[in-house]
Amino acid sequence: MKDYSESDKKIILRDYRGLLRASKKFRTKPEDTAFIRKAFNFSVEAHMSMRRKSGEPYITHPIAVARICTEEIGLGATSIVCALLHDTVEDTDTTLEDIERLFGKKVKRIIDGLTKISGAIDFTTSDQAENFRKMILTLPDDVRVIFIKLADRLHNMRTLGAMRKDKQLKIAAETLFLYAPLAHRLGLNALKTELEDLSLKFKEPEMYAEITGKLKKSQEIRTRFIAQFISPLKRELAKTGLDFTIKGRPKSVYSIYNKITQKKVAFEEIYDLFAVRIILNSSSETEKTDCWRAYSIITDFYQPNPDRLRDWITNPRSNGYESLHTTVMSPTGKWVEVQIRSERMDEIAEKGMAAHWKYKDNKKKNENKFDDWINKIRDLVQNNETDTLDFIDDFKLNLYAKEIYIFTPTGELKTMPKDTTALDFAFDIHGDIGRKCIGAKVNHKLVPLNHPLSSGDQVEIITSNKQKPKEAWLDFVVTSKARSNIKQSLKEEVKQIADQGKESLKRKLKSLKVDYNDKNLRELLKLYDFKNPLDLNFQIANGKIDLSKIKNIVEKGGELKFEKNKPIKRVRIFTEEKEIISSFGVKSSEAIILGDDSLKQVDYKIAQCCSPIPGDDVFGFLTINEGIKIHRTNCPNAVQLMSNYAYRVLKAKWKSQTLREFSVGVEFTGIDGMGILHSLTNLVTGSLNINIKSLNIGSEAGFFNGKLNAFIHDTKHLDDLMKEMKKIEGIKTVERIY
């Protein structure tokens, strides 16, 4: 470290000592400490000339990632070493051969997996989607690759404040879109929660600040309420001789945000802002009995909601999560969720698969939950021909899915996603059974393929050798295994039909004395406007292609060339970010200026899905056919656009102006009464002098719901309108809808 400044050395040594303290329980042998020290020294030298955006020495990042791996995920010495080295091959002159020579084959394999994730980016699809697919492809080999990548993402999110605003939005979007769901699926609850909260912090800073402010303001009240709630429980649990810890925890900021935005409830109306967790120090033999004993004591004091009992001890979730949940009514009339679990269950709930390894020798009925999920992923990734974005969609289908429990005819229990169909269940048993499925018996009653299953159903699959997968099946199956199997079967059928079309094409070319070769095939694809030979041959076989058109092509030397007077429609495909940006006349480092014709650099359109107005945080998105469209950063489509097509996202900002009016929609509800419509129109068109585009209002059983579409200058103008509307007697809620 001799070439580092004294201040840098202090920072690096401070962070390294923190890593050693955090990993103390995992360094069981002197060789472990020496191994970590060796990787630390190597990484310090390799990253010597590099700095982070914050100005800190770059080595602080690998050290922080290593600390997250051991302290927050619970990984050992090998993972710590790999985390310290994770950027060396990609960002320095270090090679994989160097890694293998110095640290062994196991470390080299994990570093190779991490490097492949961040490797070549395919701009013709989606950079982040392609990277995510590469990451998932490594999962069946060594799941530590995924753990380290998630730790890397978490530290990047914690230090995201040093990045430009547009970069913050892109990284936050892809984190919400892929990384947080993956952490959830791997059982890393604490990591998933922080990734979601940090994403919200950068994606919607005002909403994040508002929720955290209200949580802080109500903290003292919550603390007092929880103390009163758990006081009798503590006394009674202690009498039974149970060894326990009991504590309250607030709901995550992101989950509160979801309730506010999706269920349209105010912060003050969310009844389950916090939960009480009881953690029992029980042996594996008695933990289930002890949890139910604790449940019995809780329900002796508080009335439970029978619809909110969740027994994930008898039937754990597929990510290994085990806990007993109940929601009870407190003396103050508030619902409180109580979670009951053992220390082993709690560690698995927070650290997921990493903790699962620790208890692998514990011969429990459900010990193979993670292994079953890995096997499903292995089945999915074996289909290498699946389009990248289709792969991501299929994979994400089950990341956040709620689960139900289905029985086979022999009584075997299967865990399936909620809304699963009989056909999904058939494919879950085996791909061949799914492909031949013609129906099912659910609880001994005959049902069709698309019949939705419910928890507790007993299902028998009926098959026929004459059955073949159909494209319509994709409209109702919900599991990734079913979708990938169906798509693969359809592709195989298309290939067989396409082979017939290929033979027809060859015969036609032979009759014209033209060779069937790559060069001529490319010309034919241009002529018939197809992207690949498979689609062309398939349509030929179906009789949808007129091969007589080939006669319009000049035969010359056995090669095909188009006549000069026959224009061919060409679709331009952009393959580089610079090419995309420059083609629209704007540099990637510049922001598109909106709302002032004298400063407008490029043509753009306002996206109808979110209808941004001046004052909204916005970004530009390059569409294929409609140029640049401007979206709000909290647009319903923003997360998907920024994560899947980051290379097509442009910075954009408004030029302050109030000359132009924008159409904005507002929804309002309240208690019906005389004169509300009159008061509203007087306010909008009279006092505020705002033009109304449309106004619809309906009333039922004393409650009304209305939608106002008005012409607004900017967000301040809109805020003033909404504040004044709330003052009208009878109106209870006012929300912007677009």
Amino acid letter, 702? G
Q: Where are the beta strands (DSSP E) in 35-191?
A: none
Q: Which of 526, 524, 533 is nearest to 559 (CA)?
A: 524
Please give the C-alpha separations between residue 523 and each of 516, 519, 539, 557, 575, in angstroms, as whole numbers: 11, 7, 17, 15, 21
Contact (Cβ atoms closer than 8 angstroms) between residue 83 and residue 66: yes
DSSP one-letter string for 255-269: HHHHHHHHS---GGG
Q: Which residue has the tokens 């009992």?
A: 309
CA dihedral 419, 423, 428, 432 (to 10 degrees): -170
Token representation of residue 551: 């006669």
* Residues 192, 325: Cα–Cα separation, whole Å: 20
Count of residues for the chain?
738
- 482: tokens are 């079913």
Contact 8, 53 (CB under 8 A): no
117, 145 contact by CB (below 8 A): yes
Please tell me the number of Cα atoms within 13 Å of 61 on its side-chain side: 26
CA 519 to CA 727: how far, in whole Å? 72
For the beta carbon of residue 551, count every other beta carbon within 10 angstroms.
9
Dihedral sign for Cα 161, 162, 165, 170, please: negative
In angstroms, rounded to a whole number, what is the distance separating the alpha carbons of residues 167 and 650?
A: 10
DSSP summary character for residue 281: -
Could you list the beta-strand ranges (E) of 352-412. 403-407
Percent helix, strand and coil across the chain, each to the nearest 5: 50, 15, 35
Degrees to nearest 5, angle at CA 693 with 688 and 697: 90
* Other beta carbons within 10 Å of 614: 22
Q: What are phi and psi of 507, to 5 degrees?
A: -65, -40
Helix (H) or strand (E) holding 85: helix 77-85
* Catalytic residue from among 8, 32, 45, 90: 90
H helices of 431-545, in order, are 431-435, 480-511, 518-528, 533-541
Q: Exactly one of 45, 91, 390, 672 is catalytic; name it.
A: 91
Strands 324-329 and 303-304: antiparallel
Quick check: is 90 catalytic? yes
Question: For the range 218-227, what are the long-range contacts, defined as Cβ-Cβ under 8 Å and sequence gap of 24 or more?
Answer: 218/273, 222/248, 222/250, 222/273, 222/274, 223/248, 225/330, 225/332, 225/334, 226/274, 226/276
**How far is C-alpha 151 from the geometric centre of its chain's CA atoms?**
16
> Tokens in use for 731?
């109106």
* Residues 250/215, Cβ–Cβ less than 8 Å: yes
**Which helix (H) or strand (E) element contains residue 148?**
helix 144-158
Give the position of tokens 């208890």: 359
First to last CA, the chain: 55
> Cα(674)–Cα(730) distance, rounded to whole angstroms?
9
> Would you name the residues annotated as active-site residues?
90-91
